[in-house]
Structure 1
Amino acid sequence: MTTNPNEPNNRKPAKESKPKLRDGVMKRGNTWSYVIRVKDPETGVSKPRWVGGFATEDEAKAARDEARVKACRGTYIDRNEITVADYLDQWLDSHAMEIKPRTLEDYRKGIRLYVNPYIGGLQVQAVRPSAITKLYRDLLKGGGRNGKPLAVSTVVHTHAILRRAFRDAVVVDQLIDSSPVERAKRPRVHLAEPGTVWTPAQLRSFLDTARSHRLFAFFHVAAYTGARRGELLNLRWSDVDLDGKQITITGSAGVVEGERLEGTTKSGRKRVVSIDDETVKVLREHHRAQTVDKLAAGDSWRGEKNGHVFTTAWGNPIYPDTVTALPRKLIKAHNHPKNGKPPADPLPYARLHDLRHIHATTLLLAGVPVHVVAARLGHGDPAITLRVYAHVIRSAETAAADVFAQAVKAV
């Protein structure tokens, strides 16, 4: 039969074949998808989970097989396109109550400068250990200001932030089943030894100079307890037991964006620190002096009942940077020539935080067990004390053989 080209074609076009699902895999448009059934852990009801976007059938099948194994193990996680930058932003907001204000500000700065510009656009579920390792390499090579190398300690700190965040992405938010940060290669850092560590005689000279200052008690307690700056500035009289000769460290004060804020201790736990008779005497004298200030201020007194141990003359809590700046001034005053002659015992410059190091070093050299020193300092693990003061412990160990030999001879 001959078809007349001038006659209309009344035949219907053939229907396109409908995509068929074969063993959980099918083609949709130009890409492949798979579907598996996943049991809801709360209801126990099995529901289908579709995942698409695969370029080939083999890729879809491989992903399907992996998903099936995870579903059987109860570790299957739905696909999520949230980026690293968005997740870290949400993570900081959701954990803000658990992190001290100063630490939170530090985290935000680190993420803004050293994470988001490099991997912020990646999807959390697409981050591989190699991407984290490359981040560290890039930071070490040119992550600093004006493209200069970034300090190893800063890169290690960035690693600590990411480690905590991605751990929560696994355990808390269940976005991923394992953390790529744990398998990344991070740079090693050797902990720096403490700064200037005065001898007991030099410490006594410093405290003698500081005795005339209204905050002398602060420096004395800092040196005799090893407490941190913020912990002492947070200390209340209700935390001080002069009869029992102990103080309880319950929190810490810091500065965030120029504002004084109070929060938990670095470890998040409170601790009790014993004090000696001299420190009890110093605190009693300080309390009497504060009472005189309170009476002189009258209605203008801004402190609260059983308020802060260390305050201004008007009862306000001390601003942290005030006590940080004072040691330099006191050391300069001590070293200033008197009657045209320099002091016989000039003091090398030391920071406020070095009083903490002096406390720990003096105790360790005196043979106090590491775990006892760690408890006084508020280290959550004595291993931290061992690492920070390894040089002190090595110094004490050199005499261990002689100590043992002398003990045997004395028998």
Structure 2
Amino acid sequence: MAIRTYIKDGKKLYEAYINGFDARGIRVQRKRKGIETLRKAEQVEFELKRELAQLKEEKIHPYFGEWLKECLGLMKVMYRPSTFYTYEKTINRWIGKHWTNQPMSEITKTDVHELIFEQIKDEDATMHTRKFVLKLVKRIFQLAVDHGKLDRNPCNGMTVKVPESDKKVLTNKEVEIFLQESKATNHRFYPVWVVALFTGMRSGELYALKWSDVDFESRTISVGRSWNSKNGFTSTKKVASRSWWRLARGSSEPQKAHQVKNRLDIQ
């Protein structure tokens, strides 16, 4: 920080100069020339010092790329491995390459709209993909708000409308044919398909099924956990009790247990 004199067109003039660092640690240099008196130069220097002090104390809004790295670290702790794997893969493909060197505070709703509807090409993504990407972008910015890195979420109020699609399911006749054919060929998964079709259980729930979950008297199965390759065995989001198919009338309990045990590949 200094005041120096110089001569221009035979006239003595002053220059005020400061040098320092802002809140991010980036060097800041400011100077003003053409000042006619020393007193005015001192006033200008004082103003420049105040400006530098404000830059040192101002709230830092990180670059999007900086926050994204920190955000992924938070998500890894917050979510199940399978959920984090999906989030990380989606972020790296669709989001990570955008706004890397842009301060988060400067990213607007228009920027987000351009990412979702223009920069992600139609041939590369469905509307379902765009909806999921927007969900993650919202979550990234909301975490920034929650951790004091950002004042407001630029995604607030944004949505992606996905056209309703017809869900393709087997008809009763198709289910009947499918089970008849799989039973006729003695397919090893026939018992599993029977349970899946008549209870609506997911494959992970079937894999995690235990004998203690089965009540032969009431013909119900208590579903309380699931399995997948990323998380292993975990509790289901909502423990439920689902109706089970009826076994043949007249079977004794040992016969029922033996029948199911031999046919179902469950724990």
Give the TM-score category using the shorter length: 0.5 to 0.7
Q: What residue number does 2:69 align with?
A: 89
Is the contact between residue 100 and residue 263 of structure 1 (CA under 8 Å) also seen in structure 2? no
AA partner of residue 188 (structure 1) = K
- What are the ranges of 5 or more consecutive residues in structure 2 without an aligned counterpart? 1-37
Matching residue of 1:188: 161
Deviation at 1:279, TM superposition (A): 9.7
Change beyond 3 A, Cα 1:158–1:226: same
Contact 2:61-2:150 at 8 Å conserved across structures: no
The correspondence of residues 7-86 of structure 1 with structure 2, limited to 5 A, is: 17=42, 27-28=48-49, 34=54, 50-51=57-58, 78-81=59-62, 83-86=63-66
Counterpart residue type for residue 156 of structure 1: K
Name the counterpart of 1:208. 180
Is the contact made by 1:101 and 1:263 (CA closer than 8 Å) also made in structure 2?
no
Paired with 1:126 and 1:283, the residues of 2 have a C-alpha distance of 67
RMSD: 3.6
User: How big is the shift at 1:283?
Assistant: 7.8
Cα offset, 1:111, TM superposition: 0.4
1:271 is aligned to 2:233: no
2:193 equivalent to 1:219: yes
Of the three residues 210, 214, 221, the one matched with 1:240 is 214
| Distance of aligned partners of 1:200 and 1:111 in 2 relative to their CA distance in 1, 3 Å threshold | same
Structure 1, gaps ≥5 residues long:
1-13, 36-48, 52-77, 143-147, 291-308, 316-411
Deviation at 1:19, TM superposition (A): 6.7
Instruction: Determine the C-alpha separation between the residues in 1 that align with 2:125 and 2:156.
Output: 21
Q: Distance in 1 between matches of 2:135 and 2:223?
A: 26
Write the letter of the residue equivalent to 1:50.
E
Does the CA contact (< 8 Å) of 2:199 and 2:244 recur in 1?
yes
Q: Which moved more, 1:101-110 or 1:133-142?
A: 133-142
Contact 1:250 1:271 in 2 (8 A): yes
Q: Deviations over 1:207-229 (max 9, x none)?
A: 12223222222211111122222
Residue 335 (structure 1) aligns with: none
In the alignment, residue 289 of structure 1 is paired with which amino acid? N
Are residues 1:164 and 2:167 paired? no
Normalised by the length of structure 2, the TM-score is 0.68
SS of the residue corresponding to residue 121 of structure 2 reads helix
CA distance in 2, matches of 1:191, 1:279: 41
The separation in 2 between residues aligned to 1:134 and 1:189, in whole angstroms, is 17
| Partner secondary structure for residue 117 of structure 1 | coil
State the Cα distance separating 1:98 from its structure 2 match: 4.2
How many correspondences in the alignment?
224
**Contact 1:235–1:310 under 8 Å retained in 2:** no
Task: Give the Cα–Cα distance (whole angstroms) in 1 for the partners of residues 90 and 248 of structure 2.
Answer: 40
Aligned partners of 2:104, 2:89: CA distance in 1, in Å?
A: 20
Q: 1:89 to 1:32 in 2, by over 3 A?
A: closer
Point out 4+ residue stretches in structure 1 off by more than 4 angstroms: 18-21, 31-35, 279-283
Q: Partner letter of residue 310 of structure 1? A: D
Is residue 153 from structure 1 mapped to residue 128 from structure 2 by the alignment? yes
Identical-residue share of aligned pairs (%): 18
Structure 2 CA distance for aligned equivalents of residues 262 and 32 of structure 1 = 56
Compute the displacement of 1:182 (Å). 1.9
Residue 222 of structure 2 aligns to which amino acid in structure 1?
T
Write the deviation string for residues 235-263 of structure 1: whole angstroms up to 9, x where unpaired.
Answer: 2333333334322323332345xxx8344
Return the alpha-carbon distance in structure 2 between the equivalents of residues 93 and 264 of structure 1.
Answer: 24
TM-score scaled to structure 1, two decimals? 0.46
